[in-house]
Structure 1
Amino acid sequence: MNEQTMRKSRWQTGMFLLIIIVLSYLSSAITAFNFVQGLATIPKALGWIFSNLMVTQESLEKLPKILEKLAETIFMSIAATTLAAVVSLFLGVMGSKTTKVNNFLSVFARFIASVSRNIPVVAWSLVLLISFGQNSVTGFLALFVGTVGFLTRAFIESIDEASQSSVEALTATGATYFQIVSKAVIPQALPQMISWVLFMVETNIRNATLVGILTGTGIGYTFDMYYKMLNYNAVALVTLCIVITVIVVDLISNHIRKVIL
C-alpha cells in the first residue's frame, strides 16, 4: 500500500512538471520569447549597468534633495498605513465570524476588503489621478485604499484565530459586546495585527516609489525626473537610497516582530 502510494505521488509529480513545461513552452511561443537570446543579453546589460549606474561626486551633491523626497515618501507611506490600519480594525471586527454584529455588516466589510485588495495600487493611482490630479493626496489615497483591503483581510483572519474560551467566559459573565471585543479578542490578535501593519509599511514604501512616478510626488518623481534627463548617476544614487531604506525598515520591522510575537 505504501509503495502504491509512492508510485501515485511520483506519477502526480511527473504530470505536474509536464504541465508546467508545456505551459512554459506555449507561453514562450505565444509571446515570441527566446530564452537563449535572453540569456545572451545578460552580459551586455550588466556591462551597461556597471558603466552607467555609478554614484559620482556630482550626483552626491543632489543627496540632500533626494533624502528630502525620500523622507516625504516614507512619511506618506507610514501615514497611509496607520490610517488604513484604524479603518481596517473596524472593518475586521465587523467582518470576523467571531465578532460580527450581523451578516450584512460582515458581508459589507468583506466586500470592501475584496474590491480594494484585488485592484492593484497602480490601478488605484491611475483612477484617482483622474479625479485628484498629480499631487501627494492622490499617492496617499492610492496607498490607503490598497492597504485597507489587505489589512482588513489580514485582521479578519487574525481575529478568527483568537481563542474562543475567553470570549465564552466573558459572555457568560454578562459582558457587553464592546467589552468582549476590547478585553478578549483584540488583546489576543494585537501582536499579529501589529506584524501585518509593519509588513504593510515596508510594502508601501516600495509601492510609493512606483506611485510617485505616476502622481509626480516623493522619491518616485525624483527617480523619474533624473531618468528622463538621462542622468543615470543620479538614478543610481536614488536607487541606492531606496534599497538602503527598505533594508533598514525591514531590519527594524523584524526586530519589532521578534519582540511582540
Structure 2
Amino acid sequence: MRIFNWEWSTKNGLPHTGIIIGITIITLLLVLTAPVVEMNPQHIYNSGDNLLDFLSHWFIQPEWEYLPKLAGKLWETIEIAIVATALALVLSFPLGILAAINTTPHPLVYHITRNILSFMRALPELVWALVFVSAVGLGPLPGVMALTFVTTGFLAKFFAESMEVVNRKVISGVKATGASSLQILMFAILPQALPDFCGAVLYVIDRNVRAATILGLVGAGGIGYELVSSIRLFYYSRLVLILFSIYLIVTFFDRLSNIIRSKVI
C-alpha cells in the first residue's frame, strides 16, 4: 500500500514548469549569494574542532556559590519582561484599533498609525536600550522602556491584523440591530479576535523573556551582562548555570503559554 503519493495533479504527474523554474532561480540565487555571508562548507567543517573544544568546557563543576546572585538577576529579567509586556498591552490596544482598516476612524489615521508602528519596530530592543540608558541611566528601567516601546509596535500590529480578518457577516448582523461603533467593536470584532489576541500576547511574553536576557549587555538590567561577562572571562562554571537557568525559564513560559492558549481557544 502506498502511504505517500509523490505525483503532482498534472497530466504527466510532474510539477508545473513555473514551479520548476521558480525553484531553480531561488536555488541559483542562494548559491550565488552564499559567499556574501561566508557560507563555505569547508570552513564550517574545519571549525567543528573549535566548537567541540568550546563545548567541552561546559562539562565542569558549577559554581553553586553563584546561585543567590544568579537568582536575583533572573528575577530581574523576568520582571523586565512581564512589566514591559503589561505596559505594551495597555498601549498597543488603542493603537491596534486605530491601525485596523475596519475600526480606524479615518484612512488618514490608519496610515499615520501604521507608519508609527513601523518606526517602533524598525530598530531592535538593544538599540532602544542604548537610547534609554543614555536618557535615564543604568538599571532595569531603560530595559523596561526599550522592551515596552518595541513590543507596543509588534502587539499593535498583531491586534490590527487580527481585527481586520474577522468574519464580516457577524459585523453586519450586529450592525443591523442598530449598534453603535463601540458596540460593534465590543460584541462583533473583539470576541472573534480574542483567541488571536491571546496567542499574540503569550508569544510576546515568551519573546520578551528571551530579549530581556541580552539587554544587560548595554547596562539595561537583567542577566545579560552576567552572561556576556562569563563568556568573555571564561567563567564556564557560571556560564553553565546561567544558560541552564535561561533554558528553564523560557521552557516554563512556553509550557504556560500553551496551557493558557488551549483553554482560551
Among candidates 43, 46, 53, match of residue 58 of structure 2: 53
| In structure 2, distance between residues paired with 1:27 and 1:256 | 43
**What displacement does 1:3 show?**
3.3
Residue deviations 1:63-120, cap 9 Å, x none? 1211211111111101111111121111111121222112222222211221212322
Which residue does 1:67 correspond to in 2?
71
Give 1:208 deviation, angstroms: 0.9
User: Hey, what's the Cα distance between the residues in 2 that align with 1:185 and 1:31?
Assistant: 45
Q: How does 1:154-193 map to 2 (within 5 A)?
A: 154-193=158-197
2:147 corresponds, among 143, 157, 161, to 143
Check conservation: 1:208, 1:220, Cα contact below 8 A.
Answer: yes
1:41 Cα shift? 1.8
Q: Which residue of the partner structure matches residue 27 of structure 1? A: 33
TM-score by length of 2: 0.87
The alignment status of 1:77 with 2:85, answered yes or no, reads no
The reply on whether 1:242 has 2:214 as its aligned counterpart is: no
Partners of 2:26 and 2:99 in 1: CA distance: 37
- Residue number among 254, 257, 261 corresponding to 2:261 in the alignment: 257
- TM-score, structure 1 length as denominator? 0.88
Once the two structures are superposed, the pairs formed by residues 72-111 of structure 1 within 5 Å of their partners are: 72-111=76-115
Q: Which amino acid aligns with 2:10?
A: N
Name the CA distance, whole Å, in 2 between partners of 1:114 and 1:175. Answer: 33
Structure 1 segments, 4+ long, off by >6 Å, are none
Deviation at 1:17, TM superposition (A): 4.2
Q: Equivalent residues in 2 for 1:5-16 (5 A)?
A: 6=14, 9=16, 11-16=17-22
Do the aligned partners of residues 107 and 5 (structure 1) sit closer, same or farther apart at CA in structure 2, a change above 3 Å counting?
farther
Q: Which amino acid aligns with 1:191?
A: P
> Is the CA contact 2:100–2:163 (under 8 Å) kept in the aligned structure 1?
yes
Distance 1:32 1:152 in 2: 37
**Bigger shift: residues 149-158 or 109-118:** 109-118
Structure 1 equivalent of residue 11 of structure 2 = 3
Letter in 1 for 2:237: N
Work out the number of aligned pairs and report it. 257
The answer as to whether partners of 2:101 and 2:107 remain within 8 angstroms in 1 is: no
1:200 aligns with 2:237: no
Q: What is the rounded CA distance, in whole Å, between the counterparts of 1:168 and 1:258 in structure 2?
A: 29
Q: CA deviation at 1:21?
A: 4.1
Letter aligned with residue 2 of structure 1: T
Compute the RMSD of aligned alpha carbons.
2.3
Structure 1 residues not aligned, in runs of 5+: none
**Quick check: which one's helix share is greater?**
1
Percentage of matched positions with identical amino acids: 30
Using the alignment, how far apart are the partners of 2:247 and 2:91 within structure 1? Answer: 30
Structure 2 gap ranges (5+): 1-8
